[in-house]
Structure 1
């Protein structure tokens, strides 16, 4: 069973991006909440009767305002955006298009130098996405939408489709999830048949990971470890989301009511448990599939064993006994941390396995900022990224990154000495 995926054009018509100027981000500088438009933005939002109602002075788009910062920094609010020609009543002058935005918790976070992404969905709904310049999420959005890294003070736009369309693989879905978008599954019926036996209960992650791998018998972890890891993770994520949808629907259908009104605390606790389960199971799944990759290459390792000070690195090569043996050459020891998403948590691995100076950390997070990777280098932390994700990083970062195949070769060489 292969994986059939959707496309970015299933969700978006186009996107525009610009660096916010003082007058864009600070209403006190321009006396109103406006971003100056330009021809690239006109191509996305339109300027004729095909887009605007007859005789209308402007057009209001339903909008979701999103702020994406660093670790745990995310806000969103529903509202609208108004698109209008400020010179509409002066026909002898050329049009001057402006985008009027609402004041809300997201726009209050904006400051000059931040990056604004304006994405138009197929139904006309707009995403007003603001993120700090130079951050990881900025890199991820530029990659997802196929935009140039050089962002100016005027809008640049990109229509989605044709040659500029992305298949919604594991990496693309990762970024869409940051925007609160969950693509529909092209093979929902097949996935549902695979999870039917679980009813309305989650199996252990070991069982779920095994099911994901067995459903893709053509995947060869020995010949293509980088590809296998991503495909297995993608399939398990698909299966998990399908089963989660059933379980959550059943719980919501039961309602959150109490004798004296709505059980708000119960609803919030349930919502939090859903989010926490997603994060925990993603990390466990990554460890399960990494272990399967190492097994396919007959790499000796210990998983989650203690080193010192109660630290437990995710993977220790060749094992705990060798690590604790002072006579065993330190140069032949290797440790690998694994985190499905990194954010600012990469520093946690620096204190693990103190005998080993050069640490390794595998993650599936695309487009990590240069500031982060530069600091990793100074801390002697080598980032390991599946080969396909290297394209989301800048060229000078790609030269430094290690892929899964390269890491296996390193460890195999040390174990063969």
Structure 2
């Protein structure tokens, strides 16, 4: 999937918020963002009121409001003084009232002429993902902070990392009102021929297997990282395309030709579809991992119960091997707080591995995982989206296969395995 943000935004400015800009800090009574610098090239240099979509992401919820934002010069009536441009947000705007000093803020000029202001707490997955999607580099080392506020830097959306999106990226963008573009839609007729193009949805394993067959450029024996990445991203794209084909008649049956739409039914249908989407993504991910492991010749068992009652997703080379030669691998498309489940899995081994496609990791999360002896495994194309100090702490799929293969070879050499 591709966001094609340049088709939705004329440009995006980004910065870290100062205490004077965050109403919750109670440093200033104004409800304003400092707006000087390059962002004026985007918004103009005259008093203007824009329609505005406000969003605030914290760890627990998303706050949203639609009202206006006003660009103005705070010194417009003071002669012989340099302009001081600000963006005024209305008092009582819930997303803006909730933001904190140090939060990350994006101001975008939409192609419709309206403005979008998005704020996210920097320790959240949403902040990491938005920073990647917009290519805004807010995670770069901090420089010298001006006394009053940081100016917005303007970023080129041609350099945005808005391709090869995962389901969480797509979900985030849809919250912003942007529907991702589905790639590989030309393959939809193959899916319809295979599975009928109507409910019920096809079995996960069969759908995933067909997606692998349709991804002809990936060989797991040559490049397991690229193969796993291609299989997962292709499956996400094709599932989105097939879902639209299948779900549209369901929506028409539930909501078309109704004078009034029952809100409870609306949310029930939306929740059911969203939960099914993420559940299938997780099961498809496990199917692709198993196919990759089979291609590499690694021995493993799935969902085996260990002596302590835990059931890791994959156990290498199996229960017959001694604990010091076993390798446990959990699979989660995204981590969030669910990585803590891995801590209780497979206590026979000191280090547990977690393979994920998550593009929303940050240093705090990875450090917390390492403190609990959980090592993160990601395909190298996902690892490449992380820079700085984080990327070297992420294990590639090839490196994990090497670790598991060496332990398997030692188990065979010792006579524990044939």
Name the TM tier (shorter chain): 0.7 to 0.9
User: Where in structure 2 are the equivalents of 1:5-404 lying within 5 Å?
Assistant: 7-26=4-23, 29-47=27-45, 57-60=47-50, 62-70=51-59, 72-90=60-78, 92-102=80-90, 103-148=92-137, 149-150=140-141, 152=145, 153-162=149-158, 164-166=159-161, 168-170=163-165, 174-180=168-174, 181-196=178-193, 197-201=195-199, 202-256=201-255, 262-308=261-307, 310-319=309-318, 321-322=319-320, 328-404=321-397
1:183-228 superposed Cα distances (whole Å, 9 cap, x missing partner): 2235434334433543222101101101111111221111111111
How far the C-alpha of 1:81 sits from its partner, in A, is 2.1
1:220-259 superposed Cα distances (whole Å, 9 cap, x missing partner): 1111111111111111111111122233322221234999
SS at match of 2:153: strand
Could you tell me which residue of structure 1 aligns to residue 415 of structure 2?
none
Aligned length: 396
How far apart in 2 are the matches of 1:192 and 1:69?
Answer: 40
Moved more, 147-156 or 399-408: 147-156
How far apart in 2 are the matches of 1:250 and 1:78?
Answer: 31
How far apart in 1 are the matches of 2:40 and 2:218?
Answer: 45
How far apart in 1 are the matches of 2:189 and 2:32?
Answer: 47
SS at match of 1:199: coil
How far apart in 1 are the matches of 2:246 and 2:294?
Answer: 33
Q: Are the aligned partners of 1:358 and 1:381 in contact in 2 as well (CA < 8 Å)?
A: yes
Gaps of 5+ in 1: 49-56, 323-327
Q: Are the aligned partners of 2:35 and 2:152 in contact in 1 as well (CA < 8 Å)?
A: no
CA separation of 1:165 and 1:366: change in aligned 2, threshold 3 A: closer
SS at match of 2:129: helix
How far the C-alpha of 1:282 sits from its partner, in A, is 1.2
1:144-187 superposed Cα distances (whole Å, 9 cap, x missing partner): 3222324554123233345x24451136x753532323322354
Moved more, 125-134 or 231-240: 125-134
How far apart in 2 are the matches of 1:167 and 1:67?
Answer: 20
How far the C-alpha of 1:126 sits from its partner, in A, is 2.8
Q: Are the aligned partners of 1:140 and 1:367 in contact in 2 as well (CA < 8 Å)?
A: yes
Q: Are the aligned partners of 1:14 and 1:157 in contact in 2 as well (CA < 8 Å)?
A: no
CA separation of 1:246 and 1:91: change in aligned 2, threshold 3 A: farther
Structure 2 length-normalised TM: 0.86
CA separation of 1:10 and 1:354: change in aligned 2, threshold 3 A: same
Could you tell me which residue of structure 2 aligns to residue 54 of structure 1?
none
CA separation of 1:310 and 1:331: change in aligned 2, threshold 3 A: closer
How far the C-alpha of 1:392 sits from its partner, in A, is 3.1
Structure 1 length-normalised TM: 0.86
Q: Are the aligned partners of 1:191 and 1:238 in contact in 2 as well (CA < 8 Å)?
A: no
SS at match of 1:217: coil
Gaps of 5+ in 2: 411-418
How far apart in 2 are the matches of 1:177 and 1:332?
Answer: 40
Q: How large is the RMSD of aligned CA atoms in angstroms? A: 2.7
How far the C-alpha of 1:108 sits from its partner, in A, is 2.5
CA separation of 1:259 and 1:405: change in aligned 2, threshold 3 A: closer
CA separation of 1:139 and 1:257: change in aligned 2, threshold 3 A: closer
How far apart in 2 are the matches of 1:257 and 1:414?
Answer: 59
